[in-house]
Amino acid sequence: MTTFTAFTTLPAKSAAEALGEAIEALDPAPYGVGVFEIEDGSGRWEVGGYFLEAPDEIGLALLAASHGAREFVVSELPETDWVAQVRRELHPVGAGRFYLYGSHDADTVPNDAVPLLIEAAMAFGTGHHGTTSGCLIAFDRLLTEGHVFKNVVDIGCGTAVLALAAARVFPQTVLASDIDEIAVDVARVNAQANDLADRIEAVQAAGFDHPTLAARAPFDLIFANILKGPLIELAPDMARHAAQGGYLILSGLLLEQAEDVTAAYLAAGFERVYASEHGEWAALTLRYLG
């Protein structure tokens, strides 16, 4: 099936959200709309629409002009077997002791690795991105140093790769949360695929706003691979939900954003333990002083 995309950018979140809502009223209507902050430090936001029919380009031009956006870039996408393409392009990834792979690469898993199965259809968050592999490498470093964690949560879990990693090495149930209902469903599917359905509890929540998270706190290890803005906003909540001496592993950050995030967490009562670079991305390991 041929599909179409239309993308533009704006300088402010509120304007981007308003434009995203306005696109939904077009005829033909998009089957999906996304509004995302561009993580390049520019402060700009991207708005995209996905269409099963050629979109109304005049309507898009009028919407862009009325919302202060750049002209939409419309593209026609040919019919593609995306799962097959992802399988061709995504190769297994080693991150410390952890090995992320699809079932088509099951015969490549090293005997001494901790395996994490993520199928191509669930490709977002496989570990190919520097933020995910950076978190796994930071986790591996703590494990190598002899740390044992009994109460772990993955905030903004996406496909729950980080929660799966913790459940692979520790016997306790690991919590995973995401604001997006689809991400929570994907997390549960991935837990089942890894024979960890009884060891991963996934809930839909914005940050720590869920009774299950409140009941399980304080946590001695918190993963949060999200974005700079939400990480800074969550710093006080992280302190309220972290055990004294507990660790955070944070990513979703460009290298130039790490200093601002670190400052927010130092102010909230944490100390920096490690900072590492993975391409253009940073991963932070912090400890709560209480």
Task: Identify whether residues 48 and 138 lie together within a single domain.
Answer: no
Q: What is the CATH number of the domain that holds 203?
A: 3.40.50.150
Last residue of a domain, one of 36, 60, 77: 77
Report if residue 207 sits inside a domain. Answer: yes
CB-based contacts of 93: which residues, under 8 Å, 6+ apart? 99, 100, 101, 126, 127, 128, 133
> Strands 152-155, 174-178: parallel, antiparallel or unpaired by DSSP?
parallel
Residue 38 lies in a domain: yes
| pTM of this structure | 0.71
Give the tens place of pLDDT for each residue, 66-101: 999 999 999 987 665 544 544 544 567 788 999 988
Same domain, 252 and 144: yes
Query: 34 is in which domain, residue-wise?
Result: 3-77
Predicted pLDDT at 37: 84
Nearest to 228 by CA among 258, 207, 265: 258
35-39, 56-60, 234-238, 282-286: lowest mean pLDDT where? 35-39
Q: Report yes or no on 158 lying in a domain.
A: yes
Identity of the residue numbered 290: G
Residue among 34, 184, 191 nearest 119 (CA): 191
Asked whether 190 and 118 are in contact (CB, 8 A), the reply is: yes
Q: Is residue 119 part of a domain?
A: no
Q: How far is CA 64 from CA 31, 57, 87, in A?
A: 19, 10, 36
On whether both 168 and 264 belong to a single domain, the answer is yes
What CATH code is carried by the domain that includes residue 12?
Answer: 3.30.70.260
Helix (H) or strand (E) holding 261: helix 258-267
Among residues 40, 55, 77, the one where a domain terminates is 77
Q: How many domains would you assign to the chain?
A: 2
CA distance 127 to 134: 9
Q: Is there a domain that residue 107 lies in?
A: no
| 147 inside domain | yes
